[in-house]
Chain A
Amino acid sequence: MRRSFIRYPLVFIAPAFVIYLVFFIVPNIAGMYYSFTDLSTYSDKVTFIGFDNFARLIREGFLVTAIRNTFIYAVCVTVFVNILGMSLALLLNEAPVLGNVYRTAFFTPYVIAPLIVGYLFTAIYQPEVGILNRALRSVGMGALAADWLNDPQIALFSIIMTELWRSSGFAMVIYLAGLKTIPRDLLDQASVDGAGYMTRFRRITFPLLAPSFTVTVLLMLINSLKVFETVLVLTNGGPGWVTEVFNTFIYRNFARGNWGYATSASLTLSIVIAVVAVVFLRLLRRREVEV
């Protein structure tokens, strides 16, 4: 039933939509055009060059490196942030004495600028005196101490660890909110029926956390595909190019003055993100319905 006493003028949408349209949508569409030009800081002339930029992305091989690293990073971060976030939420759900203090503390890294987290971990990963290696040595695990950012084998892994430190608390609060929606009696009933902790988790808690799971997976995937500051600060894509990701590659070409080329890489990233977002949203939503 709908009474028509009140109108909700569409013009209310106008201010927000105009700003958004002009400063977000228009540049993104213009980006599609610039991707096919040789726009650069070396000349005022802009020439349409067809698919040259994209052919070059493939030919130079950096795109492959960037895609591989970005995906390794995004998948690892998404998987482990979810595992850690969910574990933290389950622990906090046991109502520990200092529950609120813990929750506040775990979320704190997420409110700090990623750039600053990057600098912080530059110090932490310092091979000789950084606190990570010193902590490892002091508990007798000195063999594990490494040159975290300069060893090509583990540099990307170290960047991933940094992001786990930063984002696990974010996943935790989303899972905590999800846990609050699970009726206590359902779990109690299962307990009475003789279900152990793991059974209850598998049969009740985890399925009912599906919405939180969807959201966290999706947000973490999208955000980690856009990773920039931590990589820029920690390794700047090095050593060599072993930690090059999309956004450091884009920045390198922007800085070199190849704006058209940088834009084509940026457009590629947008397409990748859009595809990943749509595919995962479908997959995860289907799972939610099935459960």
Chain B
Amino acid sequence: MKVRRFTARRLVIELILFLLVLVVAIPFYMIVIDSFKNQREAAQFGLGFPTVVQISNYVDVLQSGGILVGYMNSVIVAGFSLALVSMCAALAAFSIQRNGTRLTNAIYYIFVVGLVIPVAIVPTIRLMMSLHVHNTYVGMILFYSAVLLPFAVFLLTGYLKTLPRELDESAGLDGCRPIHVFWAIILPLMQPALVTACLLTIMTIWNDFLGPFYLLSDSSKWTVTVTVFAYIGKFNTNWGSVFADITIVILPILILYFLLQRYIVEGMTAGALKG
């Protein structure tokens, strides 16, 4: 009796979960399947296979050009930002966590403020103009570094708590300078958390819209998400090519997620729960 009830319950759970997965999966399926349809068929948002499979939507999207430039811009901005963010944050977290004084705690909380407060757009534009980095890659990289540093510092400081102080001291006894302790011992040990920080940096920059939308008026520097906005602004009646555009844009992020989801999910939850 008990066993039977048990299996029935299992069955119900499996069924519910399966139906819920459909709720998540069907929209993605719709994007992909409709991206191979012609304009009229795609506008019906059907879930059936296209009557004629055509890749012309993808050809159109690639030929319109914006997306390749967007890809390149996103890679440049994300690449430099992640190098800057991970190095600076690791160094800062090391000093903040290991010192643990009133001053460093205060600095830590100043960083935490950045997790909560939104960006001040207009003053940022004015600041970048006065520094002559408005509408430049350098400006965007510095902007993203400033926005993403708080989370990276937060995450890495939390992770450092799990690395016992004795590790540094064993090296310190050998007379190593602090930078060597950091470089030779701490940095390699922080690798899992660093990978998480890097992945989140890449994903945030790839997906961000608000920053470049406000800060970049030069369309040749638009990152990939802004190019989606621009593309749809121009061709909003052709859902086939809109879906093709979306597919090309979300593909790298999905691949990254499916391959490295352990780092992404665990990093996010660990970072969140330690707060």
Q: Which residues of A contact B (CB under 8 A)?
A: 3, 5-13, 15-17, 19-20, 22-28, 30-31, 34, 39, 88, 91-92, 94, 96-98, 101-109, 111-116, 119-121, 123-124, 126, 129-131, 165, 169-170, 173-174, 176-178, 211-212, 215-216, 219, 222, 226, 228-229, 247, 250, 254, 259-260, 262-263, 266-267, 269-270, 273-274, 277
Contact = CB atoms under 8 A, between A and B. Distances in A.
Nearest to A113: B207
18 contacts: A3-B169, A6-B172, A11-B95, A16-B88, A17-B92, A20-B110, A20-B111, A27-B127, A31-B120, A108-B24, A108-B28, A113-B225, A113-B253, A120-B31, A170-B268, A174-B268, A212-B273, A273-B117
A116 B127 contact: no
B68 interface: no
Contacts of A24: 114, 119, 146-147, 149-150
Interface in B76-111: 84, 87-89, 91-92, 94-96, 98-99, 103-104, 107, 110-111
A222 B172 contact: no
Contacts of A107: 257, 261, 265
B132 interface: no
Interface residues of B, number: 93
Contacts of A222: 116
Contacts of B192: none
B120 A228 contact: no
A113 B206 contact: yes
Contacts of A101: 21
Contacts of B23: 165
Contacts, number: 251
A259 B122 contact: yes
List 8 A-B pairs, minimum CB-CB distance, nearest first.
Answer: A23-B146, A113-B207, A31-B120, A16-B92, A6-B172, A12-B95, A30-B123, A27-B123
Given A131-B30, A270-B117, A104 B261 contact: yes
A207 to B, nearest CB: 16
Contacts of A11: 95
Interface in B194-237: 203, 206-210, 214, 225, 228-229, 232
B44 to A, nearest CB: 5
Given A91-B16, A104-B261, A106-B21, A173 B91 contact: no
B26 interface: yes
Contact of A6 (B120, B168, B261): B168
